Amino acid sequence: MKTIAISSNSGWNIVNFRAGLIRKLIDYGFKVNVIVPNDAYRLRICELGAEIYSIDLKSSGLSPIRDISSFLAYLKILRDLRPDAYLGFTVKPNIYGSLAAHLLGIKVINNISGLGTVFGRNGVLRLFVEGLYRLALRPSASIFFQNPDDLALFTERRLVKEGQAKLLPGSGVDLSRFSPPPGDREPGPFRFLMVGRMLWDKGVGQYVEAARNLRQRLDRPAFSLLGPAGVDNPGAISGTQLNQWSAEGNVTYLGESDDVRPHVAKADCVVLPSYYREGIPRTLIEAAAMGKPIITTDEVGCREAVEHGRTGFLCRSRSVDSLVEAMERILSLDAAALAEMGAEARRKAERQFDERLIAEAYIAALQD
């Protein structure tokens, strides 16, 4: 039996983004070992049929002592496991896990699922991170990118070799689990929903300002936020701030949920005004799979999730006015036009975002 090691910066990421891939690998006859920090998702990873190995890994920030410790921990775990291949997801598993695997002669397949805030600005930190990526990625067998902008950037900066780089449409979505809700729309106001980690770079502030703008002029829209607050990120928005916005009455903070489907099902439009350097946001492809029109920014990764004017609308990043304009365009649609836009979003998800396409690409890479 071939053995695969998979690593990400959290068990949450594995359960929410890689469960379908793990099931497919196991069905194909691979033994799957998951290397993640010790968190509340251990049992759910075991339920997928994988074995878990804990690692002390801080998902953000650069600390030489902690990061050297993470590298040595990867080295020990991978030396003990001796997997046939190592699959890295998120920044530190892609860097430190890959470096350890290369040192041990283990084949590596990486997935670059967005570049975050570091690549959004120039400076010494970006050059340092680029250097780490170059060391970690150039010996890899295959590297999957989720959007063409990231692939082009890494190729132009010679962080990867052209033959290594391949394009995958996001992390994929289970189209049977995320499907348009049955029955008629629940009565009530038009409902906008933003789903994601509560980070300033995700455009939460712009979303709240747009809600304030529209609710001062219109009675019918309702605005909700769904996702974790106070996460391990310098741009995290506190629960106190979210509760304060909720108290103002323009937005409702729904907290965090392991199952976003009931909330998305009630929404009329899903919004992500992100200027974070995304891969392809999972929340948007889930919304598309559930037949929901989308508003997002004309930014790297986000624009790949929408066909402007057909499955939703694009707006300028960091612009409340542009976001309000896109929301007004959605509000101007009649029920039939809104339903057709949602149906087109579902068809796009079926063409591009089926998680089976992602699993098949990994199987092919492992067979190669």
What is the residue-level pLDDT of the chain in tens, covering all 368 positions? Answer: 799 999 999 998 899 889 999 999 999 999 999 999 988 888 999 999 999 999 988 766 666 778 899 999 999 999 999 999 999 999 999 999 999 999 999 999 999 987 866 676 677 878 888 899 999 999 999 999 999 999 999 999 999 988 899 998 888 899 999 999 998 888 899 999 999 989 999 999 999 999 999 998 887 799 999 998 877 777 899 988 999 999 999 999 999 888 999 999 999 999 999 998 888 999 999 999 999 999 999 999 999 999 999 999 999 999 999 999 999 999 999 999 999 999 999 999 999 999 999 999 999 999 87
Residues near 33 by beta carbon (within 8 Å), at least 6 away in sequence: 3, 4, 5, 6, 50, 51, 52, 53, 81, 83
Tell me the CA distances in angstroms from 347 to 18, 290, 340, one per residue in order: 22, 10, 10
Measured distance CA(260)–CA(262) in Å, rounded? 6
Tell me the CA distances in angstroms from 254 to 193, 204, 262, one per residue in order: 10, 14, 12
Measured distance CA(31)–CA(3) in Å, rounded? 5
Q: How many Cβ atoms from other residues are within 10 Å of residue 104's Cβ? A: 15
Measured distance CA(209)–CA(211) in Å, rounded? 5
The tokens 């959004």 sit on which residue?
120
| Domains of the chain, first to last | 3-172+354-367 (3.40.50.2000), 191-352 (3.40.50.2000)
The whole-number pLDDT of residue 163 equals 85
Global pTM value: 0.88
The whole-number pLDDT of residue 117 equals 67
The whole-number pLDDT of residue 288 equals 98
What is the phi/psi pair of residue 139, to 5°?
A: -80, -5
The whole-number pLDDT of residue 59 equals 66
Specify the DSSP class assigned to residue 118: G
Rg of the Cα atoms in the chain:
21
| Range 201-205, long-range pairs (CB < 8 A, 24+ positions) | 201/117, 201/120, 201/235, 201/274, 201/275, 201/276, 202/272, 202/273, 202/274, 202/276, 203/272, 203/273, 203/274, 203/275, 203/297, 203/317, 203/318, 203/323, 204/237
Measured distance CA(20)–CA(36) in Å, rounded? 17
Cβ atoms 52, 23 nearer than 8 A: no
**Helix, coil or strand: residue 167:** strand
Measured distance CA(12)–CA(15) in Å, rounded? 5
Nearest-5° Cα angle at 236, 66 to 119: 65
DSSP secondary structure of 11-23: HHHHHHHSHHHHH
The whole-number pLDDT of residue 21 equals 93
Cβ atoms 295, 305 nearer than 8 A: no
Choose among 325, 324, 293, 292: nearest CA to 309. Answer: 293
In the numeric block, which tokens belong to residue 61? 């920030």
Number of residues written out for the chain? 368
